[in-house]
Chains A and B, each alone.
Chain A
Amino acid sequence: EEQLVESGGGLVKPGGSLRLSCAGSGFIFSNAWMNWVRQAPGKGLEWVGRIKSKPDGGTTEYAVPVKGRFTILRDDSKRMVYLQINSLKIEDTGVYHCSTGIFLDNWGQGTLVTVSA
Chain B
Amino acid sequence: QSVLTQPPSASGTPGQRVTISCSGSFSNIGSNTVNWYQQIPGTAPKLLIHSNNQRPSGVPDRFSGSKSGTSASLAISGLQSEDEADYYCAAWDDSLNGYVFGTGTKVTVL
Q: Does A87 contact B (CB under 8 A)?
A: no
Give how many A residues have a beta carbon under 8 Å from the other chain's beta carbons: 22
Chain A residues with CB under 8 A of B75 = none
Chain B residues with CB under 8 A of A50 = 99
Chain A residues with CB under 8 A of B2 = 44
**Are the CB atoms of B37 and A45 closer together than 8 Å?**
yes
Chain A residues with CB under 8 A of B68 = none
Q: Mark B16-40, 1 if CB is under 8 A from A, else 0.
A: 0000000000000000000101010
Stretch at the interface among A13-21, A57-65, A71-79: A57-65
Q: At the interface, is chain B mostly helix, strand, loop or mixed? A: strand
Q: Mark A33-69, 1 if CB is under 8 A from B, else 0.
A: 0010100000011110110000000000111100000
Chain B residues with CB under 8 A of A91 = none
Residues of chain B having any CB pair with chain A under 8 Å:
2, 35, 37, 39, 43-47, 50-51, 56, 86, 88, 90, 96-104
CB-defined A-B contacts under 8 Å, sample of 12: A44-B2, A44-B86, A44-B103, A45-B37, A47-B99, A49-B98, A97-B44, A103-B47, A104-B47, A105-B50, A107-B44, A107-B45
